[in-house]
Amino acid sequence: MNEDTEAMADNVGQIDDRLDLQAAVRALPDHLRWVLVLNVNQGLAYAEIATVLDIPLGTVKSRMFHAVRKLREALHARLEQ
């Protein structure tokens, strides 16, 4: 493979990875997806998320933990295919 072909293959792989991640995020239950999106996409701190969603800080932490775990499991399963 020449350098252009390798670069194109890398780009396609990165796009595929992003699509897998987006699909995994969309598959999360709403209550988990919201904390993840507010933190990662919107840059809100956990305390801010608790205020926005009107839930306890501990609930935000728990939901984030479960969201990340579910994403990790989904992406790991995808890699095994």
Over the stretch 23-81, which tens digit does the pLDDT of each residue have? 889 999 999 999 999 999 999 999 999 999 999 999 999 999 999 999 899 888 877 76
* Cβ–Cβ under 8 Å, residues 66 and 34: no
Q: C-alpha angle 13/37/47, rounded to 5°? A: 140
Does domain 3-80 fall into CATH 3.40.50.11030?
A: no
pTM of the model: 0.75
Q: Please, which residues have CB within 8 angstroms of residue 46's CB and are 6 or more apart in sequence?
A: 39, 57, 60, 61, 64
Count of CA atoms in the C-beta half-sphere (13 A) of 71: 19
Give how far Cα 24 sits from Cα of 36, 52, 66, 67, Å: 12, 24, 13, 10
